[in-house]
Amino acid sequence: MPPSKKKPPKPTTTTTSRSTPPPPPNWPPLTPLLPTSSLSLQTVLPSQILTIPHLFTPTLCKTYVSFLSTLPLVTTPANPKKGDAVRVNDRFQIEDKVFAERLWEGTGLRGLVLGEGEGEDGEGEEEGGEEKRRELWGGDVLGLNPNIRIYRYTPGQHFAPHYDDSNTLSFPPPTTTTTSPPRTSTALTHHLIPALTTWTLLLYLTSCVGGETVFYPSSQDEPTGKKSKKKKGKEGSSSVGVGGRSEPIVCEMEVGMALLHRHGRECLLHEGREVREGVKWVIRSDVCVRR
């Protein structure tokens, strides 16, 4: 029989695998943690940069670094799309609402942001707390963005100066803690809440030489000559902006420290400086508010 000229059918596996989101990683449990009474929200620059030292313990950071090292991280291109900041690091990104919720509820982050319990150093517990909190966070806080990003910077890698955009999303309803399924299949979609990201969360799992996150409160301090086309909101009137000039704010990485900074219209120009020795590991998410 002569060989058939018919082409073999095209495999369809590519299409199928592309439309199926990857399963979330099997994140290690968030333990050990310090008691929430030992945590506090510290102000680096009022209404702009806050930190929470020891949100993760050194032991938990080590566990996470070993685990994250097993994930398929991808090196970002050194020549980004037009308009995007140059960032050279290895990253892993996943939509994982369950993990975002665990980070929010299980670490004490929620209590600190919402001003519950003890330990805040001021921002959340002044008179008229509720209104101040809404002003600080940019609305009614819902929780953390399920879009979880993991960054690894090895020596020579960095994130060039840029502004973080605010993004809109449909915020998923809280996962029920019981094992029973939702009563109707529409329960999940009907309760999606229109949301907006307002602050960036960076959780440092290591410290290293270099790799600091640096903020430039005034545009005159832009280190590369890159000028933003965006309108700058209130950032020029921040307390260190006397006469339009101010020193860069250098946030040294501390193992287990969370750094929160305002983003969107009021985002300060910032960068992740080049790592010179060691490896910088970061978990990134965002604070979301009701839109």
Ligand X SMILES: O=C(O)CCC(=O)C(=O)O
CB of 209 to ligand X, least distance (A): 14
Give CA separation, 249 vs 67, 70, 270, in Å.
Answer: 31, 33, 9
Among positions 201-220, residues that touch ligand X (CB under 6 A) are 202, 213
- Out of 110, 133, 152, 270, which residue is the one contacting ligand X (CB under 6 A)? 270
Query: Is 152 among the residues that bind ligand X (CB under 6 A)?
Result: no
Distance CA 93, CA 285 (A): 10
Q: Which of 120, 145, 146 is nearest to 133 (CA)?
A: 120
DSSP 3-state assignment of 180?
A: coil
284 or 290: whose CB is closer to Fe ion? 284
151 binds, among ligand X, Fe ion, none (CB under 5 to 8 A by kind): ligand X
Q: Which residue is nearest to Fe ion (CB)?
A: 164
User: What is the C-alpha to C-alpha distance for residues 16 and 22, in angstroms, rounded to an integer?
Assistant: 12
The window from 11-19, 156-164, 176-184, 279-287 that contacts Fe ion (CB under 5 A) reads 156-164
Q: Give min distance, CB of 104 to ligand X, in A.
A: 18
Residue 173 half-sphere exposure toward CB, CA atoms < 13 A: 10
The least CB distance from residue 270 to Fe ion, in Å, is 6
Q: How far is the CB of 134 from ligand X (least distance, A)?
A: 24
- Contact (Cβ atoms closer than 8 angstroms) between residue 38 and residue 117: no
| Spatial distance between the Cα atoms of 64 and 33, rounded to a whole number of angstroms | 13
Residue with the CB atom nearest ligand X in the bound state: 272
Smallest gap from Cβ 109 to ligand X, in A, equals 17
Collect contacts of 127-132 with beta carbons under 8 A, ≥24 apart: none
Residue 18 phi/psi, 5-degree rounding, is: -70, -35
Please name the residue that has the structure tokens 């590991």.
281
User: Using the rule CB under 5 A, is 164 a contact of Fe ion?
Assistant: yes
Kindly state whether residue 88 participates in binding ligand X, applying the rule CB under 6 A.
no
Q: In this complex, which beta carbon is closest to Fe ion, that of residue 96 or of residue 164?
A: 164
- Tell me if 286 contacts ligand X by CB under 6 A: no
Q: What is the CA radius of gyration of the chain?
A: 21
Assess 284 for contact with ligand X (CB under 6 A): yes
Three-state secondary structure call for residue 160: strand
3 state SS of 224: coil
Contact 42, 121 (CB under 8 A): yes
Pick what 282 binds: Fe ion, ligand X, none; C-beta below 5 to 8 Å, kind-dependent.
Answer: ligand X
| Residue with smaller CB distance to ligand X, 56 or 151 | 151
For tokens 């704010």, the residue is 249
| Among the listed residues 96, 120, 123, 164, the single contact to ligand X using CB under 6 A | 164
Are residues 165 and 85 in contact, defined by beta-carbon separation less than 8 angstroms? no
Binder among 272, 274, 281, 283 for ligand X (CB under 6 A): 272
Of the listed pieces 30-38, 54-62, 138-146, 160-168, which binds Fe ion according to CB under 5 A? 160-168
Q: Which residues bind ligand X (CB under 6 A)?
A: 151, 159, 164, 200, 202, 213, 270, 272, 282, 284
Which residues contact Fe ion (rule: CB under 5 A)?
164
